[in-house]
Amino acid sequence: MVSCSSATSVLRATGLTSNSKNSLKSIALESLANSNFDTPVAVDIVFIHNGNITPILSALSGPEWFNKKQELMKRYDNQIDLISLEVVPLSLVESMVLPKKHKQAMNIIMFTNYQSSNGQYMAEIGHFKQLKIRLLRDSYQLVEQGG
């Protein structure tokens, strides 16, 4: 059995206090010259504020998310925040503007809409502190920066 003070100490040590539900401090993005076979790729980063929604959204692939996006945004309007980008090859975003309540997100997930199925999976990204997303030819790579 863990006491409240012990649990709070563990949370503080990991950087997850009651005001901070995730580790994310910054997101950068780099799109290589041949990313998505030289075509723009849609990237959505979803900040989930209600833990009950996580299993629903986590079960989706990139194409499923983008097909149902409008419906899901209406249904969960006050429970999620979204960064939505259309990224052309050879792009660089040094630091994305994060939603005001990003630290309170219970989970943060990312969807991409690649032409190749290799890049169409959902990724949980809330455990990163300084995330760099690298958009490659047929998939993406998630890298912790400054570590």
70 belongs to a structural domain: yes
Give the domain extent around 28: 20-144
Which token pair is 68? Answer: 């149902």
pLDDT at 93: 96
- Kindly report, residue by residue over 121-141, the tens digit of the pLDDT: 999 999 999 999 999 999 999
Q: What is the CATH number of the domain that holds 129?
A: 2.60.40.4150
126 belongs to a structural domain: yes
76 belongs to a structural domain: yes
Sorting pLDDT into bands at 50, 70 and 90, what band is 7?
very low
Distances from the Cα of 78 to the Cαs of 31, 89, 140, in angstroms? 31, 33, 29
Sorting pLDDT into bands at 50, 70 and 90, what band is 21?
confident
For 46-61, letters b (16+ CB in 10 Å) and e give: bbbbeeebbeebeebe
83 belongs to a structural domain: yes
Over residues 98-116, mean pLDDT = 96
Tally of domains in the chain:
1
pLDDT at 20: 62
7 belongs to a structural domain: no
5 belongs to a structural domain: no
- Kindly report, residue by residue over 62-79, the tens digit of the pLDDT: 999 999 999 999 999 999
Which token pair is 105? Answer: 């997100």
**Taking 80 as the threshold, does the pLDDT of residue 4 lie above it?**
no
115 belongs to a structural domain: yes
pTM listed for this prediction: 0.85
71 belongs to a structural domain: yes
